[in-house]
Structure 1
Amino acid sequence: MNLNRLSYFAAVVDTGSFTRAAERLGITKAVVSHHVAQLERDLGTSLLIRTTRRVHPTEAGIMFHARCGLILREAEDAFGELAQAAVKPTGTLRITAPNDYGAAVVAPVVAAFAARYPACHVELTLSDLMMNLTSGKIDMAVRVGWLPDSSLQARKIGSFRQILVGSPRFADRIASALEPDDIADLPFISNTALRDPLVWEFSRGDPDRRAVQMQARVAVDTTPGVLEVVRAGGGLSVLPEYLVANELASGRLIQGLPDWSLPSGGIYTVYPAARFRPPKVTAFAEMLIAAVLQQN
């Protein structure tokens, strides 16, 4: 199959117009129209709905466009890999990471990577939503917590503790809470980005496990937002150690139930399914792993 036709079709969908697609590609509208029509004939299905104002993909076109992105990115990376061989990474590196971990850990690594490899351009997307890695628009994701089963390629590069914390405003009540049940009535800040933000299982050795149902005084949809409410004295919450270590060391936050542990989460690099990874991805992953190991 002619890969140019895939790029022409993808450009039409991305721009919503044969004219704008031709302008982006630097060719004539007639060439774009001809090759897209030939692609539809080759596939035996309509990919686009053409109107006087805009071009829209059909249901089949939407599915095929998602695949095209991945195919074209892999082709681009394959040519780049052959051309560059073992030289320094080049091109655009697109990474996604959660808001909290991305800002605290990934962003400094991005800065170091950009300084080390000036031929690379980095696009870092911080979002607590899991972006679709099969679209071909993301080279690598950093994810924390617990990974769902998927066909993606993942590697665990570290782990983190979860800690019950509160502001000094609650110092007396935190100090008097010796058992998990003692915190059930304390004001709690729930993180609605989590699957089950109000039930927490504490353990003190394998046989001694206690699940506590918390009562939310405030609900926040991002982990950094939860931290700010806790800092301001809104209540207690469970937060990852990488986000609160400095706060605990400085006394701005206090740990609750220090003799009890919460389940640890994992730190993962996740990649689209592919036969190879471009040098830019491998180089960044190595720098991130080094940073995680240094923290631990």
Structure 2
Amino acid sequence: MDRLTEMEAFATVVDQGGFTDAARKMGISKSAVSKHVSSLETRLGARLLNRTTRRVSPTEIGLLYYDRARRVLNDAGEADSIVTAMHSAPSGLLRISVATDFGVNHLSPILGSFLRAYPDITVNMVLSNRYVELVSEGFDMAVRIGEAEDSALRVQKVAGTTMRMVAAPSYLESFGRPDRIDDLNEHKLLHYSNDSSGNMWTLTAPSGEKRQIRTAGWLTVNDGQSLLNAAISGLGIAYLPSFLFADAMREGAVEDAMPDLPQETLGIHAAYPPGRCTQPKVRAFIDFLVESFADRDEDW
């Protein structure tokens, strides 16, 4: 007889507390269950179950065998599930957490293409600059900007961006262009209030030295697009990712306030819970992102 079937019959008898309920659970006859268990005991040369007219319970050695057999059966079931999942078409609800600026400017415009390509997937995209706990908050994945800090998650880079200080030509004409990092203390800075470091920018000097600049800002707001709008209006210097200001810079609405400083490069990552098998809907969306942003350099 099949060894896994014998294990399953024995484990189900233990789980259900008897042959009748085990037969009902497995969808076979009571006599078939009994034959599988008897064959297992004969092959092992050990009695695994104590049988009385009222109840069935595992012997001491049967209990030890049950623990190992249940692990084997669970692993076998998981193996079957992995193969089934890998061959199934992407479908179901895909819940994504996305950094607000990137979601509004770059994900929202292309979501239609993804949904048309995968009509069996529905998307719930939550725009937030808050760091969400994917598993406990019910998200399938997140798109995050910057370093991948959570080692408990799997991460794949989908694009890159650079950070620059930008200001309107009118502001630079009125207040001058800062030549050195220390000159920023004399300028009107526009800060991002969700930054965990507070009103502090980490910059790289031409020498390669990392400098942390903490200055009072003329405006603090928790939205990157609003900071860009303020910079375009000539209100000060903003430190923003290039995916946000690239169009404005091409149009001449803002300029690099300190072009001689080395650019800070940030990765744009897809983060998702670990597991032996990535859900088809998650894999489909990550592949879509990689393909969509493949032609973008880190100055976009």
Question: Does the TM-score normalized on the shorter chain lie above 0.5?
Answer: yes
- Using the TM superposition, give the Cα deviation of residue 169 of structure 1 relative to its aligned residue in structure 2, in angstroms: 2.3
CA distance in 2, matches of 1:251, 1:83: 53
1:275 aligns with 2:276: yes
Measured in 2, the distance between the counterparts of 1:197 and 1:260 equals 22
Matches within 5 A, 1:95-134: 95-134=96-135
Specify the code of the residue in structure 2 equivalent to 1:179.
Answer: R
What CA RMSD, in Å, does the superposition of the two structures yield over aligned residues?
Answer: 2.5
Partner Cα distance (2:237, 2:102) in 1: 20
Return 5+ residue gaps in structure 1 as ranges. Answer: 1-76
- Alpha-carbon distance in structure 2 between the residues aligned to 1:173 and 1:92: 52
Shift of 1:217: 0.9
- 1:259 matched to which residue of 2? 260
Q: Residue 273 of structure 1 aligns to a residue in which SS?
A: coil
> Relative to structure 1, is the Cα distance of residues 197 and 231 closer, same or farther in structure 2, using a 3 angstrom cutoff?
farther
Q: How many residues align?
A: 220
Q: Cα deviation per residue 1:171-225 (whole Å; 9 max; x = unaligned)? A: 2256532222222211111101112243324335454554433321111012222
Give me the whole-angstrom Cα distance separating, in 1, the residues matched to 2:81 and 2:223.
Answer: 37
Is 2:182 aligned against 1:184?
no
2 CA distance for matches of 1:159 and 1:80?
35
Pair 1:130–1:209, CA change in 2 (3 A): closer
Contact 1:184–1:214 at 8 Å: present in 2 too? yes
Report if the CA contact (8 A) 1:113-1:287 is conserved.
Answer: yes
Q: Specify the alignment match of 1:91 in structure 2.
A: 92
SS of 1:217 mapped into structure 2: strand
Alignment of structure 1 residues 163-182 onto 2, 5 Å: 163-173=164-174, 176-182=177-183
1:84, CA displacement in angstroms? 6.3
Q: Pick closer, same or farther for the CA change 1:110–1:294 going to 2, 3 Å.
A: same
TM-score of the superposed pair, with normalisation by structure 1: 0.67
Q: Which SS does the other structure have where 2:156 is aligned? A: strand
Counterpart AA for 1:202:
L
| Post-superposition offset of 1:149 | 3.5
1:151 aligns with 2:158: no
Query: Shift in Å at residue 82 of structure 1?
Result: 5.9
Alpha-carbon separation, structure 2, partners of 1:130 and 1:269: 13
Q: How far apart are 1:80 and its partner, in Å?
A: 8.4
Aligned-pair CA distance for 1:292: 2.6
Write the deviation string for residues 236-290 of structure 1: whole angstroms up to 9, x where unpaired: 1100000000000101112100111243222111112322112111111011012
Q: Partner of 1:15 in structure 2?
A: none
Partners of 1:79 and 1:143 in 2: CA distance: 33
| 1:222–1:282 Cα change, 3 Å | same
Counterpart-to-counterpart distance in 1, 2:190 and 2:286: 34
Structure 2 residue aligned with 1:9: none
Q: Which moved more, 1:123-132 or 1:241-250?
A: 123-132
Structure with the greater alpha carbon radius of gyration: 2
Q: Is the 8 A contact 2:153 2:273 kept in 1?
A: yes
Give identity over the alignment, percent: 25
